[in-house]
Amino acid sequence: MSIEIRPMQMSDAAAVNRLAAQLGYPDTIEATEQHIARLLPQQTHCLLVATDRDTVIGWLHALEITWLEAGTFTEIAGLVVDEQQRGKRAGESLVNAALQWCRDRRCHKVCLRSNVRRIEAHRFYRRLGFEEIKESKIFEMLLQS
């Protein structure tokens, strides 16, 4: 296994879509292409893929955010490694690349959210040095056009 981390490209859309479905976010490939196309030009977003022999086996989306009450920080908004490839350090490599992106931007805090049911993910984040700081609920409202 030879894990490489590189910037996401439009040509990665099908693999990103497949992996997002494994994470619990199924969507059309066309929608995933639209999301990638919208995010790639934004300098405050970091889109990375992990590959093994040119096959995308994971991806990470991080972004720089400034909140009035909390200041500027980086949030890892999405991270997934193929179910068949977990435990081979692809996720760790993606997180380390995102942390470097954060350092390069002179940002000093990284956070993420993880569903309470993702116990293995919680162990993974703790192993990397993340600390759980609170539990919260997420509310959503879908607006009609």
Tens digits of residue pLDDT in 57-88: 999 999 999 999 999 999 999 999 999 999 89
Q: Which H or E run contains 110?
A: strand 110-112
Q: In this structure, is the dihedral angle defined by the CA atoms of residues 2, 34, 47 and 23, taken in order, positive or negative?
A: negative
User: In which residue ranges of the chain is pLDDT below 50?
Assistant: none
pLDDT at 1: 65
Q: Looking at residue 87, what is its pLDDT?
A: 87
d(CA 110, CA 47): 15
Work out the widest C-alpha separation in the chain, in whole angstroms. Answer: 47
pTM attached to this predicted model: 0.93
Q: Which domains does the chain have, with CATH numbers?
A: 3-127 (3.40.630.30)
Cβ proximity of 137 and 101 under 8 Å: no
Three-state secondary-structure class, residue 21:
helix
